[in-house]
Each structure stands twice: as C-alpha cells, then as structure tokens.
Chains A and B, each alone.
Chain A
C-alpha cells in the first residue's frame, strides 16, 4: 500500500494535468481530433476588410461554421474566403454571403442568408452571391457630403 501511494499520487497529478491540457487545446485551442465534422465552401468578396481567420459564419444568428482561410484571387483581384461549415447545415446555391459587423465596433462575421432554390451546394463549391463589408467611414463621408 505504502509503495503504491506515491505512484498513485503521481498518476492522479498527471491525469489532472492532462485533463487541463486537453481542455486548453481541444476546447479553447480548437484542435480538431476528428476532422470530419465540417465541409468546405468558398466565396469571393470585393472587400473583406476586418474579417479574420476563425471569424464565425452565421445563419439566422446561429453559428454554423468558421472562416478557415482568407486569400487573394489574383485573376479576378477579389478576396477569396474559405468557409468551414457544419456537415448538418445545407446551403442553397442562391444563398447570399455578406460580411456584417456585430454591434457598432464589434467583430466582423460572415452572414449567410438562405435562398429559395432546391439545389444545394456541394463541398468545395462557391457561393456566387456575395455582399462586401460596409465601410462605415465611407458611409459617413457620403452622408456628410450629401450623396446619400
């Protein structure tokens, strides 16, 4: 009994430590142990200013995925955003992807507005209808100089 007690305590210590490591990496660090829970869609925007990798993708205010990559489509000179969407959420091919801000100065996120089509987008396909980020400064200046 006495001989095992030290080893048991070490075992408990390592176990608790690993639990905490697991919480930090999997829950907070979002390391995917089983990577099969998402599918990939892409979308092209005129401007994604303010959007970051790992920003959320929402439909009707519910988070359905995250932005996995933001790149530049050099041919069309547009921003190419790769979205990671939950498997159980289907998106129609006429859905609109728009970049919104939560609150006045909050984080940017991608909002998906569903369309009425019967055809669903397959993994790897592109959302064609997009709406770029609203540039608040530009909007204010337009208002001030009277073009709105």
Chain B
C-alpha cells in the first residue's frame, strides 16, 4: 500500500520539489539584486571601483563589439540585398538593416558578447574569491561584500550596456553600408535617406530600454552565481567554480533571449 502510493505520487513529488526550488532561486536572485541595488547609493560612493569595472566591462569590450557589429551589419546588408532585389526594392535596404539592428540585434548581440567576455569572468572571479574565503575575509573586516563586489559591477553594466549597444548599432549600419553600397552598388544617398526616414525615436529608446534591462540581468545573474558558489549542490572547490561559470553564462543567455521577447511584445 505504502509502496504504491509512493510510486504514484513520485512524479508530483519531483515536480513540486523542482517548482519550489526554481521559485526559491528566482526569489533569491531578486533579493540579491535589490540588496545590491540599494547599496549602490550608500555613502561614500565607490566611484573608483565603478570606473575600474566600466573599464573592464565596457572599454575592453569595444574591439569585440566593433568586430561583431561590422560583420553583423555586412551580412544583414548582403542577405537583405538578395531578398529585396527580387521585389525591385533594394532601396529600402538601409531601413531594413537599421531597424533590425536598432530594435533587435544591437541589444541582444551586445548582451551575448558581453556575457561571453565579461559575465563569465565576473562569475569566475567572485566564485574563486568565495572558495578561497576572501569574501569571508571581507566580512571579517566589516566590509559588506555585496556592496564591495556586486554594486560597482551593476552600475558599470548599466553604464556600459547602452553605450556598447549604441556603438554596435552605428558600426552595424556602417557594415551594411560597406556591403550594400560599396560592394553591391546601391545609391548611398538613398541608403542613408531611408535610414533617417524610417527610424523613429521609439525604436531607439526601445533598444536602449532593452539594453538597460539586459545589463541588470547579466550582472545580477553572473554575480549571484559566483557569490553563492559554495552553496551549489553539484560540487565543491574548483569544480563548483566551473559549474557556477557555466550556469552563469547559460542562464544569462537564455534569460536575455526570453526577456527580449517579452520586452518586444510590450514595446511594440
């Protein structure tokens, strides 16, 4: 009797445990973010640490953003040209490239590139500080580790993400110009005229709202995964750090794409 009841309820058991763990995790991330966000405004402001993080997250990502941006724009120009030329309307190539970059690809590609470059290192750095007990040392010295480690990274992400997105958009439009106008011979005046006449402020501000939200998501998730490395069920020590880094990258990428869909449906 007892055996059968157990086996009947086992799937529900599993589902319930999974849901509770998932919602608990979400709540923990939320509280972690609110905690870190409130500590941003605690005096004295950590200007120097924030500048360091902007240097690491933002300035050092410029090269990769330029590279990815120009090739994304070029391939958009190429693909768009061969699709549009069938309808004899290759003149709207500028609009197609600029709108898809500003609305979608700019924020998302930038976020994913920064996750790969800075998010992973954030998680690994904080994770190693955790397992080598440096975070406990900070606590012992009466330095709030969340304020010291996480808050500057969130501020730096909020500054860097929109700026990098803007750079990505502009360089992508130049990439589209290179393939569309220089290689395939569309009129360059038409290219820029179409861009200016089709892009409205709503598109630009929508892109920036997206990139701000992505900045919050990426920095919070990556710091959270690193910060709670020691609580992971999967493994301890170096293995814990590697698992934390992996799940930070995977989770932030997936969340960025999901939130992108949700935000788009709200913004449109």
Contact = CB atoms under 8 A, between A and B. Distances in A.
Interface of A: 6-7, 9-10, 12-14, 16-18, 20-21, 23-25, 27-31, 54, 56
Contacts of B195: 28
Interface residues of B, number: 27
A84 to B, nearest CB: 15
Contacts of B163: 13-14, 16-18, 20-21
A54 B203 CA distance: 14
Given A21-B163, A54-B200, 12 more contacts: A9-B59, A10-B59, A14-B58, A14-B163, A17-B163, A21-B166, A21-B208, A24-B102, A24-B166, A25-B205, A30-B200, A56-B197
21 contacts: A6-B55, A7-B51, A10-B58, A13-B59, A16-B62, A16-B167, A17-B58, A17-B163, A18-B163, A20-B163, A20-B167, A21-B163, A21-B166, A21-B208, A23-B166, A28-B98, A28-B199, A28-B204, A29-B199, A29-B204, A56-B197
Majority-rule SS of B interface residues: helix
B199 A17 contact: no
Nearest to A13: B59
Contact of B55 (A9, A17, A25, A31): A9
Given A17-B163, A18-B163, A29 B200 contact: yes
B253 to A, nearest CB: 23
Nearest to B50: A10
A106 to B, nearest CB: 10
B196 interface: yes
B92 to A, nearest CB: 10
Interface in B41-68: 51-52, 54-55, 58-59, 62
Nearest to B62: A13
A107 to B, nearest CB: 8
A20 B196 contact: no
Contacts of B102: 24, 28
A24 B58 contact: no
Most buried by B among A17, A25, A29: A17
Nearest to A12: B59
Contacts of B90: none
Contacts of B196: 27-28, 30
A20 B54 contact: no
B51 A6 contact: yes
